[in-house]
Amino acid sequence: MIPEWQMSDGLTGKTDPVRFISALLNSVVVIALFSHSRVYLVSILRFGERAMDFDASCSLVLCGKSSVETDAATRLKNNNILKLPDNTKVSIFLQSEIKNLVKDDDSFNLSLFMNSISTHRFGRFLIWSPFLSSTHDVVSHNFSEIPVGSVCVTDIQFKGRGRTKNVWESPKGCLMYSFTVEMEDGRVVPLIQYVVSLAVTEAVKDVCDKKGLSYIDVKIKWPNDLYLNGLKVGGILCTSTYGSRKFHVSVGVGLNVDNEQPTTCLNAVLKDSCPASNLLKREEILGAFFHKFETFFDLFMKQGFKSLEELYYKTWLHSGQRVIVEEKNEDQVVQNVVTIQGLTSSGYLLAMGDDNVMYELHPDGNSFDFFKGLVRRKL
C-alpha cells in the first residue's frame, strides 16, 4: 500500500519520454516515474507489465531479530514456500547472503532497522525486496507461512494496492511496508486502521524528538490518509480474511519520507533547519512505528478504542468539521449540514445535525473523496 498521490489515474509531473522508454527496456524500475498525461502513462504501464510478464521474477531477502526469527527465515528459504500472485518467480535470500547483492546506498538498511526494534511481536521478522509489485501481496498471500507480525518492505513498488482496487506506483524515498495482525473479534477489525494511523503519526513525532528535530505535525484524514501542511504524504490499507476462528489482517502503509514529488515529504519540512545527515530515515520511522503500534494495539485489545480516542482526536482533522450530506427525496436531492463529533463504536463518523439529532455517516462507495459521498443514518 502506498499513498494516494501516486495513483496512475491523475498524476502531475514531467518525464522525458525518450529517457523513460529507453530506461524501461533495460530496467522495469522506471515504471515508478510519472507523466502528466493519463493516457500516456497508462499505455506505458501496460507495456511495462507485459515486459514483467515476459520474465517475471522477484528477490526477497529474509532476516530476523533473534534466533527464533532467523530460524524461521532459514526454513522458509530451504522449503521455498513463499509465493506471489501471477506466477511470479520468487528467489529467496538470507540477510547473510546479500552483501554482493545490495550496492545502492539508498537501499533499506536491514541492520539499522533491526537494531532499532525493541518489540516482542511486531516487526521482528522482515522481508525486504529492492523492487516489488506489492508488499501487501507478499504478506497476504503468505500469511499462514510467516510469523504473525512479520513486515515486508520495498524500495520501489509498481503495483501497490489501494482502496476500491486502485493501483499505485511509488519511487524511492517512500517508506512502503505491509505487516500481519491476527484478531478474533470481527467487530473491532475495522478500527485497526485507526490504530495504525495513530501509530504512524506518533512514530514520526518520536523520531523527531529523539533526533532533536523540529516538530512535524502529521495529521489523520479519516479514514486512512495522512496529511502534512494540507498535502497528502501517506495512506493506509487494511484487508482481512477469516480462517481457523481468527481474522488474518494484512496492513499496508505508505509514507513519503524523502521524495518531494509530486506534493511534499517529511524531510522537505526539515531540510532547511538541519544537516542532511540528521534527516529522517525510513528505518528509524519503521522501528518507532512498531514500538508505538505494539503499545497501542495491546491497549486496543484490552480496553477498546476508547483508550486511544483522546489522542486520536488530537491528531485527526475533523473535530467540529461541518460537512454536507446529500439525500434523495423522491426526485430531488436534499442537502443537510451536519457537524462531526467523533467516531461511532463501529468506526464510522459520528455527527450532529442542526436539529440536534445524532447521525452515523457512511461513505456511499461511489465517491473517491469520502467527504463527498456521505450517507447519514439516524442513531
pLDDT in tens, 238-297: 999 998 899 999 999 999 999 987 789 999 999 988 998 999 999 999 999 999 999 999
- Contact between 242 and 11 (Cβ < 8 Å): no
Instruction: Write down the number of H helices and E strands in the chain.
Output: 9, 15
Task: Give the residue, 359 or 45, on which the prediction is more confident.
Answer: 359
For the segment 290-331, what is each residue's pLDDT rounded down to a tens digit?
999 999 999 999 999 999 999 999 999 999 999 888 777 777
Helix (H, G, I), strand (E, B) or coil at 200: helix
* Whole-angstrom distance, CA of residue 97 vs CA of residue 353: 61
Residues 341-356 have a mean pLDDT of 92
Residue 332 has pLDDT above 70, yes or no: yes
* Whole-angstrom distance, CA of residue 338 vs CA of residue 283: 42
CA torsion through residues 303, 306, 309, 310, sign:
negative
Report the candidate in 9, 8, 3 with the shortest Cα–Cα distance to residue 237.
3
pLDDT averaged over the chain?
Answer: 81
* Whole-angstrom distance, CA of residue 319 vs CA of residue 118: 34
* Whole-angstrom distance, CA of residue 125 vs CA of residue 22: 37
What pLDDT does 263 receive? 83
* Whole-angstrom distance, CA of residue 10 vs CA of residue 196: 27
- Contact between 159 and 148 (Cβ < 8 Å): no
Strands 231-243 and 225-228: antiparallel
- Contact between 291 and 203 (Cβ < 8 Å): yes
Query: Residue 282 contacts by C-beta under 8 Å, 6 or more apart in sequence?
Result: 108, 153, 175, 257, 258
What pLDDT does 33 receive? 27
Neighbours of 121 (CB within 10 A): 17
* Whole-angstrom distance, CA of residue 85 vs CA of residue 111: 29
CA torsion through residues 311, 317, 321, 324, sign:
negative
For the segment 23-65, what is each residue's pLDDT rounded down to a tens digit?
333 333 222 222 222 222 222 233 333 333 333 578 999 999 9
Alpha carbon 166 to its chain centroid, in Å, reads 13
What pLDDT does 165 receive? 53
Q: Rounded to 5 degrees, what are φ and ψ at 262?
A: -90, 0
Q: What is the CA radius of gyration of the chain?
A: 21
* Whole-angstrom distance, CA of residue 7 vs CA of residue 170: 9
What pLDDT does 315 receive? 97
- Concatenated DSSP letters for 263-280? S--HHHHHTTTS-GGGS-
Burial of 55-80, coded b for 16+ CB within 10 Å and e otherwise, reads: ebebbbbbbbbeeebbebbeebbeee
Helix (H, G, I), strand (E, B) or coil at 241: strand
- Contact between 172 and 250 (Cβ < 8 Å): no
What pLDDT does 150 receive? 98
